A and B are shown apart, each in its own frame.
Chain A
Amino acid sequence: MKKLSVYVIILGVGFGLAVTVVLADAKAKDELVIKGNAVSGAGFLKKEMESSKLFEYRDVPRGFVLSSFDLDVQKSNNFIVFKGENIRQADSRYDVTAGAYGRWKANFTWNQIPHRFSYFGKTLYTETTPGFYVLPDGLQTLVQNAVGDGSANATSKLPAGRALLKGFLTGAHGVDLGLDRHKGTLKIAYSPSVPFSFSLSASRETKEGTRPLGAALGRSNAIEVPEPIRSTTSDFHASTEYAESWGTIQAGYALSVFDNEIQTLSWENPYRITDQTYGSSTYVAGNGTSLARLPLDPSNTAQKFYLNAAFRLLPATRLTGSISHGVFSQNEKLLPYTSNTALADPAVGFPGALSPPRATAEAKANMASMDLTLTSRLFKNVHLTAGYRYYDFANKTEALEMTNGFSEVDQYWAKTANPIEPYSYARSRVFGDLSLRVLKGTSFKVGYNFSRIDRTGGYEEKLAELAGEGHKNETDEKTFKISLDSHPWDWILLRASYVDAKRTWSLDGKAFIYGSLYNFQRYFQASRDRGGWNFLAGFSLIPNLDVQFSVLSGKDSYPHSDYGLKKNDFAIYGFDLSYALGPDTSLYGFYSHEVYTADQAARRATSPDPRDGWWANTKDAVQSFGAGFATVLKKNVLDLDISAHYSKAKGSADIGAGSGGSFAAISVLAFTKPIDMTEMLTLRSKLIWKAAQNFSVAVGCWFEQYKFDDIVRTDGRLDLIVPANITGGASANSTIFLGAVEPNYKYTVGFLQFIYRW
């Protein structure tokens, strides 16, 4: 509240001063110009199928609305502009800008962004304090008694416990799943004289709401709860610049503070009212803690200093550079190893399990970046650009050894060392491009760059180090690019480019040594061959008719990976058209077809033979098209605007299992539904009647239909799910979701608008 008051005072003083400046100009010939625009009216909504998806990031007004209000006051060189959109709605935005052209400018923006997840969430949990979710004691007691404890494997008793729990689910209550971002930003820029300028900006954003979060009590006991969100991000940025014909120097400082009011999520176990452990790695829903805790996003701070400069060394040669140094830090209190009191028993756990390894996180990282670029026109039509970029993320978090082990989802204690080895990386890149302007309106560019990523630390690297293996993890990539851009005459435009890159991963200088049994490396590090090209052609053979064709293709392959991602390709074809049939009539259309394919493979557990593993070919195919038509039905009286957009994306997965190895082949069942199939159709129309010089009436409507289908995501279950075919570990599974689905929708929105301009 105090901060909002400060903002309001600053805004009020600034606005008052600006008004005084604008209205008190001494030169009588510079008349005051006031322009404005107000749009009000009414909105109507008809729903045929309800879903929060329509309202995901917007508010659809119903009843009386003030859609927008703009006011522009100018006098001589001074101005004040006020803009309001979607006034008093959940997605409203307000802007106030005042200033003197070329001298100073002050702007305040208030922006509200809703984010709706689902209207249909339900939960058994009750939030007693922020982030603390409880269940009725009677429920926990009954279920625990049904499941029992003391047995190493209570699988046979789980069905009874699940049946009891299922009965309680009918008492679940609704939960609003969505959040609201509200952000206020103040920016001031001042240039007292031509070479100098200063700028300040400050913003404060609040996020408040709830969203689904997985809060498992083991892979056997998956629970979804509403994560409470209440946080503030405050940013401040100050910079100064000095610019002359010989160059420019900029310096600045940025600070960002993220403050999360709710640090911990606690939730009770429906299967337990007392803590329990079987003392071994047995994942059964009846095992574990009665109350679990996990830390939510920690409050943190980021600071950054930077210096940028550009110098004209020679008339056609310029050197630009920048350096920056930043720090991320967070020092939140740590939770204990576990909330399960049974794990403090030294016979099965660790006496210190109910305490944290240290009081706070002591987490910090330094970022340093340096960039240097030389651009030069070597000859009249030959340009060279060369440079070096460096970025270093140095994680300075205090290491933790934790030699006594750790808790596995509050079910049992794993007595193996669990060291924290902070992960750092440094990325460097050397590049050079040569551009040749070979013909009129035509340029040809060839470029090469070499980049390297050095990685140190991280959990797996630490384990490798403990095992006596190498830990200098490096990725090198060489990239070659060529492009051609030609616009020799007004009626033709051609753009084409090609890229070829080869990435090599190495450990201690040895390439392709992935593992002793098989070749596998995480795909974001793994050796990779990349090729891609794109082509765009635009023609205006008939006056006022522009046609564009585009083709894009990219291929990534991982030639030394037996497992993981092996191939990742895309191909895109597009067509665009715009035609001005007359001075007041235009139409446009576009179509695109996209295909994304990926191949991946995985081991079968315990077998190093790729023939025993499985593979998957996934594919996403997308079709989009749209068209629009705008015309004047009667000049200065009646305008018409209509448009239609349609987009359909459909995924599929072709899965198979290897054969010929030492294991029997896996039986694979094909999917019966598509994967993440989404379909969106939007139809819009608007008729504007210019009733008077400054007054218009608009009437229109838009229809939107959304369809979604998927192998699993349409099935947001609140039921307690009982595995139909109990095999292996699945027999111990239990699941309760929030049922937070975003189903299909079909809405029609009508509106009547009164538009007044002055």
Chain B
Amino acid sequence: MPSNQVHPQTGSITQTLLTPVGLIFLALLSFPARPTGTGQSATIDDCLVCHEKQVKAFEDSVHGKKGFELRSRNACATCHGPAEAHVSSDGDPTKIQSFARLNSGEKSEPCLTCHDNGNRMSWEGSTHESRGLACQNCHSIHSPKSEDSQLKNAVETDTCFGCHKQKQSQFLRASHHPLREGKVTCSDCHNPHGLQSGKLLEQSSVNEQCYTCHAEKRGPFLWDHIPVREDCLNCHDPHGSNHAKLLNAKVPWLCQRCHADAGHRVTLYDQNQVNFLNNKVLNRGCPNCHSRIHGSNHPSGQMFLR
């Protein structure tokens, strides 16, 4: 199909879906906003007297915008609690909620009051939350350094690499996804706030996650290569490898981890075979011939040679 034509299925489905969605969108425009709280606590001007730097930073951030009032009109008190006693006692620190004295669950509670939806829906009980992390471990309300998501680090990956050292090292390898070139980030595949699926992946399985960028591998094919269909990680390490194509091990030994029982698959590939210039070990090894290794649509393709 020529590339300049809309795929008929895409075109009709898109139109069918967009029309009712558009009507609902227009109808709901009349829904009023529902702010919470009318605020009997100290105002932001009271906080500004002593905490000018924090208040200025807050007002410059996304939380300082008018959209915040859709959720709360209590400004600082929304997260820090009522401040009248703190103000009237000339700033006694014991008279106001201090995040430093809270455990991780208590620290996250004010954030979850508004942000327990979207991709944070599964935060409670998630891998990071159950290991004692709070929102403030990665995010900063008053002094964010990143342009998006109010992170403590300017670059998202620095946040993740603070704990995930092995991954930091892997992305320095010769074969890697373009993370250090700034073309992909950790959150392109993972949701650090927790998900129902394993490995904090956005999609329901590892393979479905990979197909979001590698749709050509989706198939399904007439001949499926079973370890490929079951899990891409059987052969690849998406975080980086010194072997070509992000493979876990060098070919042919990678293939011989499964194909160890018969035929030329069990050839011992040593320096003799390199000296013989055997085409099963040179260059890309087994895929020199078995190039349709991810699956074949050819009637005679059961060995992925076609």
Contact = CB atoms under 8 A, between A and B. Distances in A.
B208 A649 contact: no
A255 B10 CA distance: 8
Contacts of B287: 214
B174 interface: yes
B92 interface: no
Interface string B269-298: 011101111111111110111111000111
A332 B297 contact: yes
10 closest Cβ contacts across the A-B interface? A102-B67, A101-B67, A375-B125, A371-B196, A649-B242, A216-B289, A77-B66, A214-B291, A297-B216, A243-B117
A227 B278 CA distance: 23
A73 to B, nearest CB: 14
A222 B278 CA distance: 10
A230 B67 contact: no
Nearest to B177: A57
B201 to A, nearest CB: 12
A357 B10 contact: no
A712 interface: yes
B131 A485 contact: yes
Contacts of B279: 219, 222, 721, 733-735
Nearest to A572: B166
Given A196-B31, A216-B291, A298 B219 contact: yes
Interface stretch (A151-159, A503-511, A661-669): A661-669
Interface in B115-131: 116-118, 121-122, 124-125, 130-131
B125 A647 contact: no
Interface of B: 1-4, 6-7, 9-10, 13-14, 17-18, 21, 24-25, 28-36, 62, 65-71, 103-105, 116-118, 121-122, 124-125, 130-132, 163, 165-166, 168-169, 172-174, 178, 181-183, 196-198, 204-205, 208, 211-212, 215-224, 226-227, 229-231, 234, 242-244, 249-250, 253, 256-258, 260-266, 268, 270-272, 274-285, 287-292, 296-302, 305-306
* Interface size class, chain A: 35 or more
A602 B266 contact: yes
Contacts of B282: 712, 715, 717, 721, 735, 737
A120 to B, nearest CB: 13
Interface in A237-260: 238, 241, 243, 248, 250, 253, 255-260
A310 to B, nearest CB: 5
A404 B128 CA distance: 56
Given A294-B306, A320-B196, A257 B300 contact: no
Chain A binding surface SS class: strand
A391 B301 CA distance: 28
Contacts of A324: 204
A516 interface: no
Contact of A248 (B116, B258, B274): B116
A239 B263 CA distance: 52
Given A406-B302, A435-B130, 17 more contacts: A102-B65, A102-B67, A195-B34, A206-B3, A256-B215, A300-B218, A310-B121, A389-B197, A420-B222, A495-B131, A523-B258, A600-B253, A603-B260, A603-B262, A622-B242, A650-B242, A729-B264
Contacts of B173: 622, 647, 649, 678
B6 A3 contact: yes
Given A375-B124, A592-B165, A727-B276, A214 B284 contact: yes
Contact of B205 (A297, A300, A391, A455): A391
B172 A550 contact: no
B261 A322 contact: no
